[in-house]
Structure 1
Amino acid sequence: MSVRSPFLQLSSTSRIGVVSLVLVSLAINGTTASAFAGKTASEATLARKVNSFIGTGKGPGDTENLYPGPVAPFGMVQLSPDTEDHGLGYHYDQMTIKGFSMTHMSGVGCPNEGEVFMMPTTGAVATQESEFQSPYSHNQESASPGYFQVRLDRSGVNAELTATERTGMVRFTYPAGQPANFLLPISHTLNHTTAAEARIVGGRDIEGYVENEAFCDVKQTYKTYFIIHFDRAFSQFGTWNGTLKGGAAAPAAGTRSITQTNQDQWVGAYATWPSSAQPQIVTAQIGISYVDLAGAKNNLKTEATGKTFDQIHHSTEAAWNEALSVIDVSGGTETDERVFYTALYHSLLMPNILSDVDGRYIGFDHAIHQVKPGHLLYGNFSGWDIYRSQMPLVALLEPKRTEDMAESVALMYRQGGWIDRWPQINAYTNVMAGSPLSVIVSTAYLDGLHDFDINTAWEGMWKDATEAAPAGKFYQGQLGMDWINNVHYVPNDKVDYGSVSQLQEDTIAYASLYRLAKALGKTDDAKKLYERALFHRNLFDTEDRYFRPRNADGKWVEPFDPAQDGHGFIEGSGWHYQWFAPADLKWLVNAVGEDLFNKRLTEFFNYKTPGWYGQYYNPYNETDLEAPFEFNFSGKPWETQRVVRRVLREDYPDTPDGIPGNDDCGEMSSWAAMSMMGFYSVDPASLAYELTSPVFTKVVIHLQAPYKGKTFTIEATPNPESTPYIQSVKLNGANNTHNWIDFHSISNGGSISFVLGASPNESWGSAANDAPPSLGDEQP
């Protein structure tokens, strides 16, 4: 048995018991129990059903990389421990804490952020990382939404963290008999720090900025401004100035400022307090802003000044209880509930708020702008990932936020000149493929969310769908656009990065925009987009019946192995992408042939154990997330019910390894949350939600304006864990043989009820007219 197992198998109640054991251990080491004020076992809230360590473990390819530290829903600040120098933040199997930093992105695949890095120490001030990093034990670590705690073995300091939307707060309990230090190694981030500055102001503040590169080797930079305010005056303070290669210089006592001007420098500031006969508690409040130092100070003043650590902790926990309470689940196992609410928690972390409390934000033109009163500006859209299920789920649960997110996309275009695939802060990164934000905005509008500038958004999305991006800009646009406009596909000899999947991603955007054009009354545009939405058919080989790479002269690339990774596909194989025509699945089933389609799809899930295979379902990436639900299109919906339950069972356990691959800003988590409720959308802009068997006997979704309904209730017969197959369905009391429902059936309020059984009912939902809608059913 792995060393993680005793901790990982604990129930919710048992995990609270671990916190009690930590209290005893820390008391023995001289740390007062007051550091845990407010952490009582009697609090049975939805936030306490979240396991903050799910997704922090070592998954396939070392890809899991979520952080356990505190964050408010969609918060600007993610204050969390870092167990590595350059990377993704925290990994459950890494047993040394380097320090704590204010910003992280949730489960992305490249080193990122980690600005405003800090560490408490005791004894003489030591500025080299090897001298201040600390081992720790999971037995003396705890976390829940809005709170993190760990004992640092090297110093004996008990570190506690909490956060508001734009601020963080640390509470460090130092052991008796040792000088207490606060280190700010401002050069340390999880990516590449290009510049930084720290200034000691008065006797209890440190302020400055960190300039960091965008993630995934993008060389654009952004600045994070900060102010740190301590609850007591410094006894001594100073700075240091060294080099990364040569080590840190000796601390210069009394110096008040230090500046880093190149990536090779290692600079920082520190503050100290004398030893005490009793353990001493030092708290610090940290505000950040992407606009300027005044913004950081105002964020701190507005959200944290005058509030205690416990007040902020409980306020953020209450915010999470409110956010999570939009869905009530019951009638499943305790583990199911914990996995579900953790998945929901991870689905509500990003995109992040970027506007300050006064409404100012930094635009894609690098100028300072003001958001409309009562609204927020959002950024960090993991587009290629989250258009599939995370943003559709957010649109259902947080409609007003979604409208602000759509407005943020429109503002990106207005200020920067283009809509990016994966914008970070105010930088174009061009990461991944297609035009996923067009899918997100179109879906939001078609869902009925209209409080944003659809005209500006449309202008940007139309340009991205029909024109090549101008040369010399940071943004990239759809690759091979001139070829798409001429030969109606992306030639492999002209675009060597995933030529087939590039076009497949483009056409899901075209299909979404086609539906949006119809809704906006843009008839001519709709016709053009409908034609473009079918361009993926030009890369379908009718002989072997796979999507395949093709050169500009029309010839197929030979040889072709559909199980080979890459080979015309991004992060996947021809097997993974043979299912990827989300808006055109009726055509795909017919083009492959229903029998062969089902044979291949059944074989696709015929693996012994989950893995990163070239010819089997890959649960660790987004390339084939829709595949389990495609049996709903091919007359075998009971197979969807079977494989979805299998994926949930095998790939979403209540452990640090409990998210397959990178969570990618909530995408993998949202897949689980939606599937556990009994629905998923292969093509979100179609508004069709495919049905599968829920794992709870009752789910109540509390709807918010502007949706018409108040609640949508999902009910199932008892013992859903042992009855995975749908026998029959009623929608609002009427028999429903369709294996899908329309989004507005949910948003208008009402109910759906499932009769479940232990064996498949092959007659339910299997007729041709029971399948979800597809482009082939429509005419523009």
Structure 2
Amino acid sequence: MITRRKFLESAAATAAVANLPAKSLFAMAAPVAKDDVLQWADPRVGTGGHGHTFPGASVPFGAMQLSPDTFNEGWDWCSGYHVSDSSIMGFSHTHLSGTGAADLLDFLVMPGVGVAKPQPGSRENPESGYRSRFSHANEVATPGYYSVMLDTSKVKAELTATERVGVHRYTFPATDSAYIIVDLQHAQANKGISTVVSAELEQTGADSIAGGHVTNAWGRGRHAFFSLTVSKKPKKVVFFKDDKEVPVGKLTGANLKAVLYFDTKANETILVKTGISAVGADGAANNVKMEVPAWDFDSVRRSAEVKWRQQLGKVHADFADAKHKTIFYSALYHMSLGPTRFDDADGRYRGMDNAVHTLPKGAENYTTFSLWDTFRAAHPAYTLLEPERVPQFMNTLIRMGEESPAGAPVWPLHGRETECMTGFHSASVIAEACNKGVTGVDYAKAYTMLERGRNDDKLGEQQHRDKGFIAADQVEESVSKHFEYCYNDWAMANLASKLKNDVGCKQHLALSKGYKNNWDASVGFMRPKFADGTWASPFSPIEMGHTKKWRDYTESNAWQTTFAVQCDPAGLIDTLGGQKAFLDKLNLLFNQPSTLPDDAPPDIAGLVGQYAHGNEPSHHIAYLYVYAGAPHLTQSRVRSLMETMYKAEPDGMQGNEDVGQMSAWFLLSALGFYPVDPVSTIYVLGSPLTNGATLSMGKGRVLKVEVTRKNAGDAYVSEFWLNGKKQDRAWFHHADIANGGTLKFVMSDKPNMTLGADAKSIPPSQQII
């Protein structure tokens, strides 16, 4: 496995340093009805800072994510867009939402006027290529729709989408040299060099072209195909190979482009329909036929908006502060951009074995599972809001594991296994679904698949099983790998238990406790060990590792990793010396200097002391106070984090969005609960930011969150009622609300020191359901 940092080391990963435009500098969308939920979701949140989101058009969980690309290299352009830029390369059809590594940006389309240059040109000098300058004041982004005025060519660009088809509408000035360029070489670049290794292009009709390419970016050997049709027959079509004009025909190579020329009247519109597929250009063409048979941009846009209105309408939440409402619904929007569909309208898909398969009737296939991130809160949120999709997600992961030479999925991307990050958290999300009673999944098949995926010695798995730790002088990121495997073993123990496999359950349960072998009481931290069992030296809790050769922790240090035991909070508390010692240590975490070494990855962001909200290993930590009998400390801390770590602006996230996880933390926290250990199905209470919410859980099931407070700033839970019964505990099981229910919070400006403080009221730990 590799980390996102490792992947980007060879790239020009200079973070964007610019004065970020405020939200008010963007154009506003057309007025909508007062109660229309679409007005509260802002796709531009996270497009600045290190959020790595994109502002373009999509539908919930759709394969087509059509968005502008302002640059295609560097860490802050993992999505192809950053709000600090002032020129646009064009509009490509696939994007990653908030990842810390870069890929996709397939099949860039760009309109222009004049003689088309085959190169995009530079950000410093856009006129040297087909780039265009633009202003954020002329940019509109709403769920399912994006538009911008291209200042260089005076062309207005509008984008919308279906599941697999992107629809462009370009409004041209009067000219005899309007053009649309299609660049197949465009992709994420490495040191200025495109990662496209081969491509194919042909004219398939008077008004259509098709082709595809293979890329070696994050997902090596990734296949993508397209079919593109325009609403007006071009007067001339020009093909380029290696940026030299060549006769139109069937082309192959690594650098292929097409230019379609038109005569246009003032304000004449030309529409473009682009279907995508991982199977072939024929599949892409059929996707267009099935999803967008007519030339009606506005109809497609309305359909996309209906889908987003339904998606965002699954939660109706009220807030005292409109900014919190924007953050909340923007979070729900971003959570709904992934995982993404990865199949054609005819049911074919490209498997992890690079072969083309056909899905069983009624099945759906997905990709872009950022599992190391999303197992923590995004997938638990899906079990509440996506009852139809969760079984499809799980069955996709099982298929992937059965088809992939690498075994159990780690970070699968468009038919490729990136092997990015640590652990096998496909086990985590499948076990969570199993424990929550998700049906329509063959858990026996899943268990077999997951066991097969645990056999790679170079990743330290064998040492984790045999030694109970991973040697820091033999395996990089040894402590984090070991801890993630501990959680995966906890997940496997639960699956084994459900399958009546007592031997497997006991074996995995014992392995899940191996984190204790990294506790060094003499320094008070989880510390790496050498192969001979001695402690790795030198040691500093703020360092990434004992040597510059490689790190001992994944995007974290000993401060954060010491609390990275989600599978056994009670065991962690005992290991650190009991409740008082644990609480003292946890308080110290938040009150340390926020000092990091020079080689710390930029992922460690959003620091409060040594707590790093901008990265996932910290996300559960503020909720650990509940397991130590001090829920009021969780309530105070979580409320502060919600107030300080998120903004309703482009620079609105302290770290990468990571395909929904950063957003899911806010959404669940704002509702008042969070899953420290998702497999356990336990939610622990925080401090609801909402004044009340209703969640539609499907099949007529409704979860109500009722909140009573005198003042907006009241952060402490004075009383907690579950389904009409007053509680003396600060947690509940998923089963308590699985068929709907009511959570009632009575809030105060002063902590209730007795709620959840008694030993009998503390959430159970390592209790297999």
Q: Residues 331-368 of structure 1: CA distance to partner in whole angstroms, max 9, x if unpaired?
A: 43221111101101111111111111111111122222
Partner of 1:683: 677
Partner of 1:604: 589
- CA positional deviation for 1:275: 4.1
Q: Give, in whole Å, the separation in 2 of the partners of 1:605 and 1:164.
A: 45
On the 8 A contact 1:258/1:269 being kept in 2, the answer is no
Matched AA of 2:492: L
On the 8 A contact 1:214/1:424 being kept in 2, the answer is no
1:394 equivalent to 2:390? Answer no
Partner of 2:452: 463
Q: Give, in whole Å, the separation in 1 of the partners of 2:167 and 2:561.
A: 45
Decide whether aligned partners of structure 1 residues 273 and 720 sit closer, same or farther in structure 2, where only a CA change above 3 A counts: farther
Decide whether aligned partners of structure 1 residues 566 and 118 sit closer, same or farther in structure 2, where only a CA change above 3 A counts: farther
On the 8 A contact 2:443/2:495 being kept in 1, the answer is no
Gaps of 5+ in 2: 1-17, 122-128, 190-194, 547-551, 595-603
Matches within 5 A, 1:72-471: 72-86=59-73, 87-88=77-78, 89-130=80-121, 131-177=129-175, 179-191=177-189, 192-215=195-218, 220-242=220-242, 248-249=243-244, 251-252=245-246, 255-261=248-254, 266-276=255-265, 278-417=266-405, 418-464=407-453, 467-469=454-456
**Runs ≥4 in structure 1, deviation > 4 angstroms?**
2-5, 607-615
Partner of 1:487: 467
Q: Give, in whole Å, the separation in 2 of the partners of 1:80 and 1:720.
A: 41
Decide whether aligned partners of structure 1 residues 336 and 122 sit closer, same or farther in structure 2, where only a CA change above 3 A counts: same
- CA positional deviation for 1:19: 3.8
Comparing 541-550 and 619-628, the one that deviates more: 541-550
- CA positional deviation for 1:752: 1.1
Q: Residues 466-510 of structure 1: CA distance to partner in whole angstroms, max 9, x if unpaired?
A: x423xxxxxxx8821222232121111221x11011010001111
Q: Give, in whole Å, the separation in 2 of the partners of 1:336 and 1:399.
A: 26
On the 8 A contact 1:635/1:771 being kept in 2, the answer is yes
Instruction: Indicate which of 513, 516, 541 corresponds to 1:534.
Output: 513
Comparing 42-51 and 650-659, the one that deviates more: 42-51
Q: Give, in whole Å, the separation in 1 of the partners of 2:590 and 2:369.
A: 31
1:588 equivalent to 2:577? Answer no
Q: Give, in whole Å, the separation in 1 of the partners of 2:58 and 2:363.
A: 20
On the 8 A contact 1:69/1:80 being kept in 2, the answer is yes
Q: Residues 653-703 of structure 1: CA distance to partner in whole angstroms, max 9, x if unpaired?
A: 101011221111111111111101111101100011011121112111111
Partner of 2:597: none
Instruction: Indicate which of 666, 670, 689 corresponds to 1:672.
Output: 666
Q: Give, in whole Å, the separation in 2 of the partners of 1:719 and 1:350.
A: 38
Partner of 1:556: 535
Q: Give, in whole Å, the separation in 2 of the partners of 1:698 and 1:608.
A: 36
Matched AA of 1:646: S
Q: Residues 407-441 of structure 1: CA distance to partner in whole angstroms, max 9, x if unpaired?
A: 01111122225112101111121111011110011
On the 8 A contact 2:455/2:462 being kept in 1, the answer is yes
Q: Give, in whole Å, the separation in 1 of the partners of 2:660 and 2:764.
A: 27
1:67 equivalent to 2:58? Answer no
1:578 equivalent to 2:562? Answer yes
- CA positional deviation for 1:50: 0.5
On the 8 A contact 2:630/2:753 being kept in 1, the answer is yes
Q: Give, in whole Å, the separation in 1 of the partners of 2:482 and 2:250.
A: 52
Q: Give, in whole Å, the separation in 2 of the partners of 1:611 and 1:112.
A: 23
Q: 3-state DSSP class of the match of 1:299?
A: helix
Q: Give, in whole Å, the separation in 2 of the partners of 1:281 and 1:443.
A: 50
- CA positional deviation for 1:565: 2.2
- CA positional deviation for 1:614: 10
- CA positional deviation for 1:79: 0.4
Partner of 2:619: 625
- CA positional deviation for 1:307: 4.8
Decide whether aligned partners of structure 1 residues 509 and 381 sit closer, same or farther in structure 2, where only a CA change above 3 A counts: same
- CA positional deviation for 1:78: 0.7
Q: Give, in whole Å, the separation in 2 of the partners of 1:612 and 1:698.
A: 28
Q: Give, in whole Å, the separation in 1 of the partners of 2:267 and 2:433.
A: 53
On the 8 A contact 2:516/2:575 being kept in 1, the answer is no
Partner of 1:25: none
Q: 3-state DSSP class of the match of 2:737?
A: helix
Partner of 1:474: none
On the 8 A contact 2:710/2:748 being kept in 1, the answer is no
> What is the alpha-carbon root mean square deviation over aligned residues?
2.0
Matched AA of 2:422: A
On the 8 A contact 2:20/2:651 being kept in 1, the answer is no
Matched AA of 1:679: F
Partner of 2:746: 755
Decide whether aligned partners of structure 1 residues 101 and 769 sit closer, same or farther in structure 2, where only a CA change above 3 A counts: same
On the 8 A contact 1:56/1:65 being kept in 2, the answer is yes
1:704 equivalent to 2:684? Answer no
Matched AA of 1:575: W
Matched AA of 1:451: G
Q: Residues 202-229 of structure 1: CA distance to partner in whole angstroms, max 9, x if unpaired?
A: 21001111211241xx5x2121111011
Decide whether aligned partners of structure 1 residues 635 and 403 sit closer, same or farther in structure 2, where only a CA change above 3 A counts: same
Decide whether aligned partners of structure 1 residues 665 and 64 sit closer, same or farther in structure 2, where only a CA change above 3 A counts: same
Q: 3-state DSSP class of the match of 1:227?
A: strand
- CA positional deviation for 1:559: 2.0
Q: Residues 563-586 of structure 1: CA distance to partner in whole angstroms, max 9, x if unpaired?
A: 112441111100011101112111
Instruction: Indicate which of 642, 645, 652 corresponds to 1:648.
Output: 642
Q: Give, in whole Å, the separation in 2 of the partners of 1:529 and 1:258.
A: 54
Q: Give, in whole Å, the separation in 2 of the partners of 1:257 and 1:308.
A: 30
On the 8 A contact 1:697/1:720 being kept in 2, the answer is no
- CA positional deviation for 1:387: 0.6
TM-score (norm 2): 0.90
Gaps of 5+ in 1: 21-38, 243-247, 470-476
On the 8 A contact 2:228/2:275 being kept in 1, the answer is yes
Decide whether aligned partners of structure 1 residues 612 and 724 sit closer, same or farther in structure 2, where only a CA change above 3 A counts: closer
Q: 3-state DSSP class of the match of 2:694?
A: strand
- CA positional deviation for 1:175: 1.4
Comparing 227-236 and 715-724, the one that deviates more: 715-724
On the 8 A contact 2:525/2:562 being kept in 1, the answer is yes
Q: Give, in whole Å, the separation in 2 of the partners of 1:9 and 1:335.
A: 13
Q: Give, in whole Å, the separation in 1 of the partners of 2:593 and 2:166.
A: 45
* Aligned pairs, number: 720
Decide whether aligned partners of structure 1 residues 566 and 324 sit closer, same or farther in structure 2, where only a CA change above 3 A counts: farther
On the 8 A contact 1:572/1:614 being kept in 2, the answer is no
Decide whether aligned partners of structure 1 residues 573 and 421 sit closer, same or farther in structure 2, where only a CA change above 3 A counts: same
